[in-house]
Structure 1
Amino acid sequence: MNDSVTGRNKIILVQPSMGVAGEFVRHPPLSLLYVASGLVREGFDVRIIDLRASDGGAAEVVKALGDDVLWVGLTVMGGAPVSSALEVSRAVKAAGMYPVVWGGSLATIAPDTVLGNSAVDYAISGSGVSSAVRLSRALVANDTPTSDELDHVPGLYSRHEGRIVGRKPFRGFEPVPFREIPYHLIPDYGVYAHFGTARRVFPIYSAFGCPYRCAFCISPAMYKEYKPKWLPLPATEVVDHIEYLRDRFDAGLIYFYDDDSFVNPEHIRGVLDELKRRRIKIPMSFRGARVNEILRMDDEFLSALAESGTEILHVGLESGSPRILALYEKGVTVEDTIEANRRLAKNGKLIAAYNWIVGTPGETCEEMAATRRLLLRILDENPRAFVFQPNKFHPIPGTVMADVAARHGYRPPATLEAWSCEEQEGDKREPWYTPRIQRDIEMMQVTSYFIDHKAELLTTENSLYYIIVRLIIALYRPFARFRFKRGFAGLLFEYPLFRRVVMRHRKG
């Protein structure tokens, strides 16, 4: 142990609950494991509490507090996690003089708003691996460090004499060798799985960053000064990691968290070749795959993906409107998306999972209808495709589209409570919504769960519960597709039920 770590050497890292999304997908908190890696190496005693896998809520965090606790940290994104994180932070502050630190995407894009709440003492913008270590050293040396004593902590925002002081974030990626990831801090990996399956899911990185310039995405702003903007890991290291998780923790699905895995197809080809050389076949899913990248994949490459165990490619479709695609600076056309989907359908083994966005500033009802038509065509032409629920457009500070939204009357949330409403399942109405657009979005929020065959493609459990779920979905599907195809949002009795489900899973 580092000799400087005495007395208060315990750090509690908390994963807030996730709302409805946490009911369908639950992965080990990789971001917290990354932050913990440096702290463990420095000799700090780290405990991770995942509220998605516990019924204890804030009380569980408070129970873990003691005289040896140096600080409590939470990784927070907008939406329901904000409510959960606020509940925890307030409970921690009520229990004693424990510093509360927020990191994650919300602290990165809105650190001043985070520190505008008295329940939070510090916010770390950007990568937090080295920043967490430096902050910990400062707090060991002084319970209430001065601004000067914190100036060496990249991306740290803190309050001093009534004002918020921010520091430039770490410019670059902070890969953590998999052997240094403190997997032992998670007591039970059996709780991490996808809805309807029993396989243990493990997220990993094979590459960091993204070189593209999508106008709605934070990546262009975040990685603006990074050189390079995309950093792939060696194929042997990636496969070593996969093999380690399979052998040590009985991993049943490897989920690549890369912003984009396929910037250079040779990167993943190298991973596939190494898997084949070692005779490893394990289910895998890729979160980052662009339409233009799929168009560069030939039949041989797609077959190699499937043969290695790849099940799902997540694809950013975004919109069926040429104008909206141009506004987003996606660099692809509607015709490109149709062709990429046909290539995936021809493969016959890979599952294509499509993300899409609705409620863009200036988007018309006809443009949303074009997106619905494209999605239905995708599903009709590819039996192994499904769609996620729509991402309601939410401007991210620092992006090109945030400026567009501002011209349409948008104002960023001024409080954390307001940020808790910034989610895809939310009912927040933006200034540019007409009553019809609002009704159409509500209709799509509900029906998108049912218009495809995701239940059959993704669930493998055959308990009575899942049999009943699949039966209900099958019975409602024709009506859902009718609504979706025709844009029929009248008499939407399903939406109040949907809202009840959403609110039942919110904390705080």
Structure 2
Amino acid sequence: MSEVLFGQSYYLRFDPKLWEAMQPYPPLGTLYAASTAREHGYDVALFDAMLAQSEDEWAQALDKHRPRFAVLYEDNFNYLSKMCLLRMREAAFKMMPMARARGCTVIVCGSDATDHLERYFAHGADFILIGEAEITLVELLDTLSGRSSRPLQDILGLAYPGPNGQVIRTPARPFIKNLDILPFPAWDLVDIPRYRQIWLKRHGYYSMNLVTTRGCPYHCNWCAKPIYGQRYNVRSPENVVAEMKWLKTEFGAQHIWFADDILGLKPGWIERFAEMVHAHDAVIPFKCLMRVDLIKESTVAALKKAGCQIVWVGAESGSQKVLDAMEKGTKVEEIYEATRRLHQAGIQVGFFLQFGYPGETREDIEMTLQMVRDCQPDDIGISVSYPLPGTKFFENVKAQLGEKQNWVDSNDLAMLFRGTYVPEFYRVLHGVVHQEFRMRKALAALRQPTRLRPAHLRQLALIPYRLWRLHQGRRRLNALERLPSSPTIPLPTVS
């Protein structure tokens, strides 16, 4: 029996595209909350939805551990949780009544719950934690368990139903400035052998996730920040290296995904990190996300020294007009220069691309495609603009939104507002960009015949097919471009 059972509602099984890709990571935010509660004397257990088949396994975990408190603490470091997908909301709405039916007090923390307090209370939440919530959670547990006499209204960062059904929301809790005071995530609660087996079988190495920062100070007007807002706090390089050494020694980590919104924003941080990771024999190959305007020559050299394999950047668009409309704060030429520097150092580059932002024209789209051809990133991720509550973008298009205001899963890609072109245009565009990208990568492999592998040969064999698909796709785009745009409304059933 455990006093507190932690869980989350992101089930990889419910996200077909990412289930196929099979690159699972445990919910790091949940593990931080669990380790913090345990450090304060609570007996904790974990239900890891990432690899679960359905909500039925949550019910089994409730029956096994018989907790007093059921805490759905979403992984606020994982962009998939921050996307507030409908299928995951539906899972949360099933999981909360299961816990209530077993007499548990239900505590929830996450972006979607923060944006929809009333709906989560209506489906079984007793308390919702707002913002950075580890300390809020411990104070709440102390009050509810009788360890503290602190009244609910004095717990910062908390929401709960009042006596008349109104939502009571206490003042915001200040952010933790010194992140080094937090315990390392509770990795001992995770089924490490299962994750390791999946990674080794599918990818040939075992990857684990880690964060060095919390928040992002930039103002991209489509980026939702319901948990950390505009604040940015960073762990010391020494603290991060100590965790890497621990993950490498205790759990056999062979690769790290730094799940930060931006790695190494603090001047000199990456350079110090590179020195420390070598000094402590803690080098592990890693991937990370950075802004193109932060990728300087000295930064690239430090990244290479530290073991960086690939840097993903939010390129978004090859049109400066679109980047300025997004308030991205970067220049197209910086995308080119950052890519050049990383490739020159032998570090791969991934581009996140976003289509459909209000005002984007076919000319802007073609500029983005040309940027991909010129820069030749090693990988790309494509999305359409996705309005989330709390953003300036959401407010600008709110009047155009229908009943459906969230995607069902990460492959939904529905245009939820009135785009420049019809929704089908962007679905076809998604395929066209991927077909051209894969074809060009296959052709580039021909120029290095000594490095050809079976996977390259398979891609080469597909070139005629991709050329035909590309031709058909562009013809379809030209036809769809001429159709009048209208918003997309279809809504799946989510109670």
Match of 1:461 in 2: none
Distance in 2 (alpha carbons) for counterparts of 1:159 and 1:468:
59
Shift of 1:326: 0.5
Report the equivalent of 1:399: 391
Q: Determine which of 333, 344, 347 is the counterpart of 1:346.
A: 344
Report the secondary structure of 1:247's partner residue: helix
TM-score, scaled to structure 2: 0.80
Secondary structure of residue in 1 paired with 2:140 = helix
Contact 2:11 2:88 in 1 (8 A): yes
| Mapped partners of 1:108, 1:420: distance in 2 | 15
Task: Determine which of 154, 157, 169 is the counterpart of 1:155.
Answer: 157
Please tell me whether residue 203 in structure 1 is matched to residue 201 in structure 2.
no
Once the two structures are TM-superposed, the CA of residue 273 in structure 1 deviates from its matched residue by 0.9
After alignment, is 397-406 or 59-68 more displaced?
59-68
Q: Map of 1:409-424 to 2, 5 A cutoff?
A: 409-410=400-401, 418=404, 421=407, 423-424=409-410
Q: Which residue of 1 aligns with 2:185?
A: 181
Classify 1:100/1:450 alpha carbon distance in 2 versus 1 (closer, same or farther; 3 Å): farther
Structure-1 residue corresponding to 2:32:
34
Alpha-carbon separation, structure 2, partners of 1:232 and 1:53 = 30
2:82 matched to 1:85?
no
From the superposition, tell whether residues 256 and 427 of structure 1 become closer, same or farther in structure 2 (CA, over 3 Å).
Answer: closer
The range that moved more, 40-49 or 95-104, is: 95-104
Deviation of 1:438 (Å): 1.5
Runs (4+) of structure 1 moved beyond 6 Å? 467-472
1:317 equivalent to 2:315? Answer yes
Q: Which amino acid is the alignment partner of residue 105 of structure 2?
A: P
252-261 vs 310-319, which moves further:
252-261
Structure 2, unmatched stretches of 5+, are 75-80, 443-452, 479-492
Structure of greater relative contact order (alpha carbons < 8 Å, 6+ residues apart):
1
Corresponding residue SS for 2:257:
strand
Matches within 5 A, 1:214-225: 214-219=220-225, 222-224=228-230
Contact 1:392 1:424 (8 Å CA) reproduced: no
Q: 118, 124, 131: which one pairs with 1:119?
A: 124
Aligned counterpart, 1:355: 352
73 and 361 in structure 1: CA distance in 2 versus 1, 3 angstrom threshold: farther
User: Residues 150-173 of structure 1: CA distance to partner in whole angstroms, max 9, x if unpaired?
Assistant: 223332222222222222332313
| SS at 1:368 equivalent | helix
- Is residue 161–residue 168 contact of structure 2 (8 Å, CA) maintained in 1? yes
User: How far does the alpha carbon of each residue in 1:220-248 deviate from its partner, in whole angstroms, 9 at most, with x for none?
Assistant: 99434xxxx33222222211111111001
Query: What one-letter code is carried by the residue in structure 1 that aligns with 2:371?
Result: L
Deviations 1:349-380 (A, max 9, x none): 2111111212223333332333233223322x
Paired amino acid for 1:357? Q
Question: Pairwise mapping of residues 59-98 of structure 1 onto structure 2 (< 5 A)?
Answer: 59-66=56-63, 68-76=66-74, 77=81, 78-79=84-85, 80-93=87-100, 95-98=101-104
Distance across 2 between alignment mates of 1:259 and 1:38: 22
> Equivalent of 1:428, from 388, 403, 414?
414
**CA offsets 1:117-164 (integer angstroms, 9 cap, x no match):** 42333322211211211222233249xxx9x94223332222222222
C-alpha distance in 1 between matches for 2:348 and 2:291: 14
Helix, strand or coil for the counterpart of 1:69? coil
C-alpha distance in 2 between matches for 1:285 and 1:22 = 20
Paired residue type of 1:99: T
Q: Provide the TM-score with structure 1 as the length reference.
A: 0.78
Residue identity in the other structure for 1:82: R
Identity %: 21
Distance in 2, matches of 1:112 and 1:476, equals: 51
* CA 81–481 in structure 1, closer or farther in 2 if over 3 Å, else same: farther
Query: Does the Cα contact within 8 Å between 2:110 and 2:227 map onto a contact in 1?
Result: no
The unaligned stretches of length 5 or more in structure 1 are 1-6, 457-466, 493-505
The alpha-carbon distance between structure 1 residues 480 and 200, as it changes in their structure 2 partners (threshold 3 A), is: same
Task: Tell me, in whole angstroms, the C-alpha distance in 2 between the residues paired with 1:420 and 1:395.
Answer: 8
Q: What letter is aligned with 2:235?
A: L
Tell me, yes or no, if the aligned pair for 1:9 and 1:44 is still in contact at 8 Å: yes
CA distance in 2, matches of 1:373, 1:449: 13
Following superposition, the deviation at residue 209 of structure 1 comes to 2.5
Rounded Cα–Cα distance in structure 1 between residues aligned with 2:11 and 2:155:
28
Could you say which residue in structure 1 is the equivalent of 2:293? 292
Query: Quick check: 1:286–1:313 contact (8 Å CA) kept in 2?
Result: yes
Q: Do residues 108 (structure 1) and 114 (structure 2) align? A: yes
Name the amino acid aligned to 1:162.
Answer: G
Q: Give the distance between the partners of 2:292 and 2:464, measured in 1 at CA.
A: 29
Aligned to 1:4: none
> In the aligned structure 2, how far is the partner of 1:107 from the partner of 1:113?
8
Count of matched residue pairs: 452
Query: Given residue 278 of structure 2, which amino acid in structure 1 is its aligned partner?
Result: K
Counterpart CA distance in 2 for 1:221 and 1:43 is 25
Could you list the per-position Cα deviations for residues 283-319 of structure 1 after superposition, in whole angstroms to 9, with x for gaps in the alignment?
A: 11112x111111xx21x54244224321111101011
Contact 1:34 1:176 in 2 (8 A): no
Give the superposition deviation at 1:270.
0.2
Secondary structure at 1:371 match in 2: helix
In structure 2, distance between residues paired with 1:163 and 1:489: 55
1:140 paired to 2:145: yes
Q: Secondary structure at the residue paired with 1:208?
A: strand
Instruction: Mark the CA change 1:285 to 1:136 in structure 2 (over 3 Å): closer, same or farther.
Output: same
